[in-house]
Structure 1
Amino acid sequence: MTTTLSPRLDDELRTALGPARAARWELPREAYAPRLDLARDADGAAVAAVLSSRRGATAAVKIVDVWWRSEADAPAAAGLVDELVDRASANGDAAVKWEVPLGQELPDFARERGFAELHAPHPSAAGTLGSRGYVRWLRELPHTEAPYYAQTTMYTCGAVTGLLAAELAGAGGFAADAAPEPSVADRDLELAFWRRASNYPAIEPLGLGVVMRETLPPERRVEVHLDHDGPVLIEAYSGFERDFRAELQSESQRQAEAVGVPVVRERVAVAEIARRVAGSELALLLIDEAPMHGETGPHWVLAHAADEEVVVIEDPWISSELGESWVDTHELPIAHADLDRMVAWGEAGYRGVVFVDRA
């Protein structure tokens, strides 16, 4: 076996893959730790290859594709997959994903190794189209698989997270059945939720809590945790641009009090988030994207499963131009220590979390 951490296809493998498949292998995945594992015969010719990638600060690796020269070489491909799974297990990962383009099939040896199909996402952004996903969990983490929808704008992560939480809480959400094409009604829903909760363009924790209260039935509890007394997510603004956003947040505070949404100002620990999510709650988390993407930016994700070591999230953002798909961002496990770094924003490192009861 040979390995390259920056996969550049040689002419032999590029020709074997064919133009369309080779183009997919050569997408610029450098931000997500691409790895190419090759098996060769006694003459040095490639007989099997596995391309994989992973987001930083997550506990999952994705198999992008597996190739083998002929049916006689399928065991070599299976051996490369076994080695990848062994590495993931030794690394402490919770899951190995497998992305399969529409028109291709998951090989029989993958099913024999415990890879199970993930539910299809609600079609929305480009990264939700054109592929199926499979997962092999490397730890016992029983839970109900969440629905998935990818945000269609740069600024609607909070709206999508809220709507996915509403769907899990049995209070509507996106279309019940995945269709082959993106739904205009779903996108209208995404934008309408954003308009209700927006601090222009970000959604801040109090505003999100208020709209979740309006969206969920009265018996579903909503609770906001924010260990910061002043307005948030406005550090880059000054003058009028800062003042009107701060005023909107004051109104969100007033509305939260009026509709009975508790606002807890003490910092909530990741262990407590995990405990509550492992029980009967969902957690909408305000994170800094830097640990996953290498670029700082505020972002909302939904935590819906957890144990004493990992929390499983739905991330509505897909870097599809860098080779990601919904398979990367759906059912995504993150270790507690990494989540502790993520759920903190700005120089103050404040933590915004909205807890809601699930169905």
Structure 2
Amino acid sequence: MQSQQESPVKYLVVPFETGTSPAPLKRLGPHEVLERWHAVDRSAHGPHLVVVPDENGEGWAAAALVTARPHTAYLKIVDAVGDVSTAVAAVVAHARGLELAQVKWEGWTATPEDVAAAGFTPLRPPLAQAEEAAGPAAGHVRWLRGCAAAEPPYYGQTTHFTCGAVTALVAQAHAGTLPRDALDRRAELTLWRDATNFPACEPVGLGVAVHRAWPSSTVGIHLDTDRPVLLDHLPESEQEWRAHLQGMSRADAARAGVPIGTGRLSVTAIRNAIGRREQVLLLVSLAAMQGFDVPHWVLCHGTVPGAVVIEDPWAGAAVGDTWVDAHLLPVPDRSLDTMSAVSADPFHGAVTIGRPQPPGASPSGPADE
């Protein structure tokens, strides 16, 4: 048990173990709340209790269950029990002590009055989620470092393979190029069908599909290898025809004038692109955040000191991960750099999307800096 203090909040950090609730917590927490806390194995996301002792120091006045994806720059309050305002203030102090960028709060039991009093801002609810997704109807955020990043719509991919299409659609909705009400499953599957390498979307095919869908937007493709990618897990007979499709995508990019940069898009370059009001579709491995090495597309759209703000269209319900985690997610620069190395023989892939160009302007810009 670790005791920490940030004036005027005195709090303790206590490990949380699935299936076991300390006696002081049982006295504070309603049965249905504690039941939700133990309903899934949250161990992959560092669950712990932030506890405020009572005045005589013999019990607890308040407590909050706190989790976060590994290698990120936020904490998430699942619920707060007892003196809710004091519990939330303790979590904020805890996050400041860890020099994190943000605290989120799932809306299972949070009231609008408590949310506003604690300085949190409501998040827009998701437009869609996968059938197996399990999350609260509401979520809230408080930024601790830097200016709050502008909020894109959150859309959870509805299949296991449409992350690339979803990140592109969310980027265009965030830019105002695509109406929010057009961000739906039909749009998701339509763009995926144009971009897919069956079933994954590799960088060149995705970039070409984005250019086809929005020819006035500046598109750049970044891929630091000439070999076919995202095929290593397939038998050789399955790799051959998909590699041929990737060659066709490169020919399509050349005909359309969409540049393919052969250098790695560094985190500095990602920050610079965002500073130019571009958005970056970045291919990452989920090994650091979720514990399994699967290639996955995320959208980089904002920055705060020390971290890039992303949208992740996938959340792992089985470990208590919800859309509140995946939305407006700050990832430290160093972590993002590590995540962007994909596969056992690492390569790096990204697609940059700029603002729509006026008629007569070249739709595609330089792919490397």
Aligned-pair CA distance for 1:135: 0.8
Instruction: Indicate how the Cα distance of structure 1 residues 236 and 262 shifts in structure 2: closer, same or farther if over 3 A, else same.
Output: same
Answer yes or no: is the 8 Å Cα contact 1:39–1:48 preserved in 2: yes
Query: Against the structure 1 CA distance between its residues 188 and 51, is the aligned structure 2 distance closer, same or farther, given a 3 Å change threshold?
Result: same
Q: Give the drift of 1:98.
A: 0.8
TM-score, length-normalised on structure 2?
0.86
The runs of 5 or more residues in structure 1 that have no matched partner are: 69-73, 177-184
In the alignment, does 2:172 pair up with 1:162? no
CA contact 1:58–1:334 (8 Å) conserved in 2:
yes
Question: Offset of 1:38 from its aligned partner?
Answer: 2.7
Matches within 5 A, 1:173-322: 175=181, 186-218=184-216, 220-307=217-304, 309-322=306-319
Are 2:120 and 1:115 equivalent residues in the alignment?
Answer: yes
Cα separation, 1, equivalents of 2:76 and 2:179: 28
Residues 208-248 of structure 1, C-alpha deviations (whole Å, 9 max, x = no match)? 00111011142x10000100011011112232201011011
Q: 1:269 to 1:104 in 2, by over 3 A?
A: closer
Q: Which amino acid aligns with 1:4?
A: V
Give TM-score scaled by structure 1 length: 0.88
Give the number of aligned pairs.
Answer: 341
Deviations 1:277-312 (A, max 9, x none): 122100000001111112111000001112452110
Greater shift in the superposed pair: 223-232 or 273-282:
273-282
> Is the 8 Å Cα contact of residues 145 and 304 (structure 2) preserved in structure 1?
no
Separation in 1 of the partners of 2:62 and 2:260? 55
Pairing partner for 1:100 from 85, 100, 107: 107
CA contact (8 A) 2:62 2:86 kept: no
CA contact (8 A) 1:271 1:308 kept: no
1:324 is the counterpart of 2:331: no
Residues 275 and 307 in structure 1, CA contact (< 8 A), matched pair in contact too: no
- Counterpart CA distance in 2 for 1:315 and 1:229 is 27
Rounded Cα–Cα distance in structure 1 between residues aligned with 2:31 and 2:88: 24
Match of 1:182 in 2: none
Deviation of 1:137 after TM superposition, in Å, equals 0.5
1:48 equivalent in alignment to 2:86: no
Instruction: Report SS of the residue matched to 1:131.
Output: coil
1:139 to 1:245, Cα distance in 2 relative to 1, 3 A: same
Please state whether the residue corresponding to 2:210 is helix, strand or coil: helix
Aligned partner of 1:147 in structure 2 is 153
Q: CA RMSD in A?
A: 2.1
Q: Identity of paired residues, percent?
A: 38
